[in-house]
Structure formats: C-alpha cells, structure tokens
C-alpha cells in the first residue's frame, strides 16, 4: 500500500471539464466569443499538457471557466484569437501558480493577470508570460496610463 | 487484500483523495502541485493503515463502507495516539535526565515541537521534527508519523528508566570517563552506563561507587576476562551480568533485559 503513487483517471475529469467550458458560451456570446466542441476539446488537451509541464493536478472544469469569465470582456480578445489566447493564459496561470507555491489564490492571480493583460501588456500574452510573478503582482497594483506608456518601465 | 477488494479499494481511494484535495484547496485553488497531492494521498493511506493495524476494520468493510468514514475513524485513533504520546513526552520533559547532552536536549525539545506541527489531516505520515539523539535500538525508518514518535518515546522512556536506577553523580562520572565531552559528544547515555556496569560486574568490581581510575579502560579489562573463557561461558557471563544489572528495576526489568539484548549480542560478537 505504501508504494502506490497517484494516478488519477484524467478521462473522467476531462469529460466534466469540456462540459463546463462549453457552458461558458451562454455568457461569452454577448461579447461575440464562442467556443466550439473542438475548441473545448483542444483546451482540455492543452490543460492536460500545461498541468503536466507544471507538475500539477486539477479536478473538474479547472481554471478555464474562471479565465473565460475574467477575460471575455477584454477589448483585446476577438473570436479569432479567443481560443489561442485562452490556451496561453491557461499555461501562464499554472506557471504562476507553481511559482507562487500556491501562496496566491486563483481569483487573486486571475485578477492580476487580467489587470496586466488589459493594461500594461495591452493584450499581449507574450508580455504577460514574460513578466515575473513579482512584477505581475506589482504591476497589477500600480496604475497604468495607456496615454503615458513611454514613462512606464520595461515596456516592449 | 483480495484482488477484487484491491481494485475497489484503489478506485475508492482515488475518489477519496480527490475530495480530500478539494477540502485542502478550499475555495482558493482548483489545482494543486503533484508533490502536495502525493503527500495528502500518503497521509490518507497512513491513516487508513492505522485502522488496519489495530484491526478496527475488516476486509469486506472496504467494499461497503465509505472510505471517508474510515478516514475519520483513523483520525480519531491518531488523535488518541498523539494525546498519549504527548503525555509521555510531558513526563520525559519533566522527569528525564538532565546531564546536559546537546543531542538529547535538542531532541526532547524538537519532539515537543512535533506536537504543534503535526497535521493529522494532510501530513499524518510525516515527522515534522528533527531527531538526533541515538537510541540503543533505533526505531525503524519505515515507521511514519506518530507511530515513529510513539515508539521513539517509549524506548527513550525505557532507557531513562534504566538511568534512573543510578545516582546522578555516578552517571556523570561514567560518562565523563567513557565519552569525555558529556555535552557535545554524540552517544547514547544508557548504552555507556550499561556497558560500564556490565564490564565492572564481569571484572568483579562490585563497589557501589566507582573511582574514576576504575572506570577508565574497564571495558578492555572485561574483554580480557571474557577472552579467557569458552564461548558458552562468555555468553553465560554476559547474560547473567545483564540480568543482574536489570533486576534492580522496580518494574519492566524483563523489558529492560530484552531491550539491552542487542548490546549483549554486539559485545559478544566483538569478542
């Protein structure tokens, strides 16, 4: 009994996750954003990879529904980049979560990511991913004036 | 466990661990690091094992009973064990020997901290304290959580009970002459006192108070005496000496006799 290692049946969790992702369409379609069955399946697969890479496990719909609700009203998202951006955001989320050693709550982290994505990063996931957790939290707390972007530090 | 029970147990365990991880995360997080999940899993398994070991659960129950209920029962057993071990530690801290050995003092202090740090919910299998003081009979590293601490304290109490048979000044005199730096050296106090007493008995030194000079090299003297005997005589002498040394214990004399058996075996092999 001592030598058994964790081996959860991810298939069960994947079915639930897909359903939960598709249920978000009801809310996001008012922003012109809809995920297809195939998109949801890809997001679930991407989640599995992201979790594996960051050595984490998750149950149920996971963080995706939260990310979808938090980012769907972003002016930088449209139907064309919605799924791909969600994939990158998902990866970034798990990376930050691991970096923080679980000290930061999901909601707090998502809030920081939204603030930086819509503010300083101006919709660039690359910029967001390139920001350290420390700076992410710092930037989220500071004001960002898009009209005065030049005076901000380290902007791309 | 039978194969059917094994499969069922495994499935139920996975579901239970998933729920336990959910409780651990609360509303703060949907995910958890694999490392922490593994830790929670091992904690659950250890708690269930405690029930198994105490025969509080039968094999068919695994199929019918909710593992969560069994986990709750296991946690009650753990709580009881922690409480009893804490009482044992209190006695040890209040009445234990104070000969100023750093390893002993640090270990007693650390075991005290164990009771504050021990988490029966998500880290029941862990031993969150440092234990440096060596026992005559070390506790198996395979033992986990409170099971390890319980046995360690039992053995330490037994060793202290033995030391309690001697006057403090005699013990200090023995330790000074055998290990030198009583405070900083890494050694077991009971072992030094026992071996010195046994050696003195073998060499015929039966005085209550031993002079420093008689303690220096008394083990070598005993070895010389024993080497002149046959194997059977050596063994008889060692066993008898051990019986005599342990008989003064008001209670647990037999327990002490068995406990020191390993020292006798080692001494015999060295001959």
Is residue A56 a part of any domain in this protein? yes
Q: Which of helix, strand or coil describes residue B167?
A: coil
What's the pLDDT at A1? 46
Residue A114 has a CB neighbour count (10 Å cut-off) of: 18
* Cα distances (Å, whole numbers) of residue A156 to A78, A125, A127, B36, B196: 22, 12, 8, 37, 77
Please state, in angstroms and rounded to a whole number, the distance separating the CA atoms of residues A106 and A94. 10
CA-nearest residue of chain B to A90?
Answer: B31
Rounded to a whole number, what is the distance in Å from the CA of A91 to chain B's nearest CA? Answer: 13
* Token code pair at residue B124: 């029941």
* Token code pair at residue B58: 């039968």
* Token code pair at residue B232: 């059977």
Residue numbers of the domain that contains A52? 10-145
Strands B31-33, A56-58: pairing kind:
antiparallel
Contacts of A4 in chain B (CB under 8 A): 10, 45
Is residue A153 a part of any domain in this protein? no
Number of domains in chain A: 1
Alpha-helical regions (H) of chain A: 10-23, 25-28, 37-53, 64-71, 82-99, 106-118, 125-129, 133-141
What's the pLDDT at B60? 58
Contacts of A98 in chain B (CB under 8 A): 33
| A38 and B CB contact within 8 Å | no
Is residue A97 a part of any domain in this protein? yes
DSSP assignment of B3-29 equals HHHHHHHHHHHHHHHHHHHHHHHTTT-
Is residue A3 a part of any domain in this protein? no
H or E element that contains B160: helix B145-163
Report DSSP state, residue B137. S
H or E element that contains B265: helix B261-270
CA-nearest residue of chain B to A56?
Answer: B33
Residue B162 has a CB neighbour count (10 Å cut-off) of: 26
* Cα distances (Å, whole numbers) of residue B264 to A3, B243, B269: 36, 11, 9
CA nearest to A67, candidates A37, A40, A90:
A90
What's the pLDDT at A59? 72
Q: A8–B14: do the CB atoms touch at under 8 Å?
A: yes
| Percent of chain A predicted with pLDDT > 90 | 42
Tell me which residue in B18, B33, B42 faces A8 most closely, judged by beta carbons: B18
Q: A57–B31: do the CB atoms touch at under 8 Å?
A: yes
| Percent of chain B predicted with pLDDT > 70 | 88
| A21 and B CB contact within 8 Å | no
Model confidence, pTM: 0.80
Contacts of B37 in chain A (CB under 8 A): 6, 57
H or E element that contains A56: strand A56-58
Residue whose tokens read 């049946």: A9
Rounded to the nearest 5°, which phi and psi values hold at B260? -80, 0
Report DSSP state, residue B248. T
Report DSSP state, residue B180. S
What's the pLDDT at A145? 59
Q: B34–A55: do the CB atoms touch at under 8 Å?
A: yes
A vs B, Cβ pairs < 8 A, gives: 59
pLDDT truncated to tens, each residue of chain B (271 aa)? 566 667 777 778 888 888 898 898 887 888 889 899 999 999 999 999 998 887 766 665 666 678 888 899 999 999 999 999 999 999 988 887 777 799 999 999 999 999 999 999 999 999 999 999 999 999 999 999 999 999 999 999 999 988 988 888 888 888 988 888 889 999 999 999 999 989 988 888 665 555 555 566 788 888 888 888 888 888 898 999 888 888 766 656 678 888 888 888 888 887 7
Interface residue of A11, A50, A56 to substitute, partner B, most B CBs within 10 Å? A56
In chain B, what are the domain boundaries? Answer: 3-73, 165-271
Splitting chain A (156 residues) into consecutive groups of 10 residues, what average pLDDT does each group show? 54 71 95 95 92 85 90 95 95 89 88 89 88 74 58 51
């Amino acid at each position: 009994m001592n030598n058994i290692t964790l081996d959860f049946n991810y298939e069960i969790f994947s079915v639930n996750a897909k359903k939960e992702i598709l249920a978000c369409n009801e809310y996001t379609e008012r922003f012109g954003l809809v995920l297809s069955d195939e998109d949801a399946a890809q997001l679930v697969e991407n989640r599995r990879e992201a979790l594996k890479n960051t050595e984490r496990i998750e149950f149920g719909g996971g963080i995706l529904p939260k990310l979808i609700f938090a980012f769907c009203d972003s002016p930088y998202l449209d139907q064309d980049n919605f799924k791909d951006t969600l994939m990158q955001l998902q990866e970034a989320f798990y990376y930050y979560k691991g970096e923080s050693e679980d000290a930061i709550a999901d909601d707090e982290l998502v809030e920081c990511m939204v603030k930086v994505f819509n503010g300083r990063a101006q919709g660039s996931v690359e910029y967001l991913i390139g920001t350290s957790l420390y700076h992410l939290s710092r930037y989220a707390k500071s004001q960002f004036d898009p009209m005065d972007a030049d005076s901000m530090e380290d902007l791309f | 466990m039978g194969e059917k029970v094994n499969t069922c147990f495994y499935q139920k365990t996975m579901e239970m661990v998933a729920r336990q991880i959910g409780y651990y995360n609360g509303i703060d997080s949907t995910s958890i690091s694999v490392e922490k999940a593994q830790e929670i899993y091992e904690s659950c398994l250890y708690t269930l094992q405690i029930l198994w070991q105490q025969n509080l659960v039968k094999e068919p129950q695994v199929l019918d009973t909710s593992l969560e209920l069994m986990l709750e029962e296991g946690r009650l057993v753990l709580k009881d064990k922690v409480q009893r071990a804490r009482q044992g530690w209190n006695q040890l801290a209040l009445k234990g020997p104070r000969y100023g050995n750093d390893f002993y003092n640090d270990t007693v202090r650390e075991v005290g901290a164990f009771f504050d740090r021990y988490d029966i919910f998500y880290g029941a299998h862990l031993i969150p304290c440092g234990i440096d003081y060596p026992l005559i009979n070390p506790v198996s590293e395979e033992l986990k959580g409170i099971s390890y601490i319980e046995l360690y304290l039992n053995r330490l109490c037994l060793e202290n009970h033995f030391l309690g048979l001697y006057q403090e000044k005699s013990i200090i005199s023995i330790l000074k002459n055998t290990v030198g730096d009583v405070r900083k050296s890494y050694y077991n106090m009971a072992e030094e006192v026992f071996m010195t007493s046994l050696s003195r008995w073998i060499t015929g030194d039966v005085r209550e108070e031993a002079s420093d000079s008689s303690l220096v090299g008394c083990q070598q003297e005993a070895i010389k005496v024993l080497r002149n005997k046959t194997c059977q005589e050596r063994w008889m002498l060692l066993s008898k000496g051990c019986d005599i040394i342990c008989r003064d214990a008001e209670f647990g004399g037999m327990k002490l006799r068995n406990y020191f058996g390993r020292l006798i075996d080692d001494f015999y092999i060295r001959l």
